[in-house]
Amino acid sequence: MRMRGHSLRLLGAGGLLLTLSFSLGSCFTERQNEGAQLYAAHCSSCHGDQGQGLERLIPPVAAADYIASNRAELPCIVRKGMQGDIVVNGIHYSQIMPGHEDLTDSQITNLLNFLQTNWGNTNQPYTIRETAELLGRCNGSDGQ
């Protein structure tokens, strides 16, 4: 059941991006596409299909001040997860996010670049090299 929900959502995102790729048309689109698909597969079940979060349990990743102001921490948050009190857009959250050991450094890069440049976030994207360096802080780089 869970898997089926995910693949349907993945198809939806794919269709949208196919439309977008006709209007944008560059190799940049390819990377955006991977980021969106990875988000749909690994993150949307918690953070929502538009990054909206869930009530006071799961913070939004869309238009999130946390994403803008904690840019350097995000690769390790995705890799190792996080817990404890955080404030996102003025709301307190205190839950547990699991880590993602199954993603490569380059997948984390594409995923975060999708978030940093979509859904109301207009932040600087990462190079793969930068992501790998930042992942080194939590011993989380897989060198791929």
The footprint of ligand HEC (CB under 6 A) covers: 42-43, 45-47, 58-61, 64, 66-67, 74, 77-78, 82-84, 86, 88, 93-98, 100, 111
Closer residue to ligand HEC in complex, CB, 17/74: 74
Nearest approach, Cβ of 6 to ligand HEC (angstroms)?
A: 11
| HSE toward the beta carbon, residue 92, CA cutoff 13 A | 3
Question: Comparing C-alpha atoms, which of 52, 55, 27, 51 is closest to residue 39?
Answer: 51
Cα dihedral angle (124, 26, 111, 88), rounded to 10 degrees? 40
For residues 111 and 38, what is the distance between their CA atoms, to the nearest angstrom?
Answer: 6
Nearest approach, Cβ of 25 to ligand HEC (angstroms)?
A: 26
Closer residue to ligand HEC in complex, CB, 17/64: 64
Nearest approach, Cβ of 22 to ligand HEC (angstroms)?
A: 27
Tokens coding 144? 């791929």
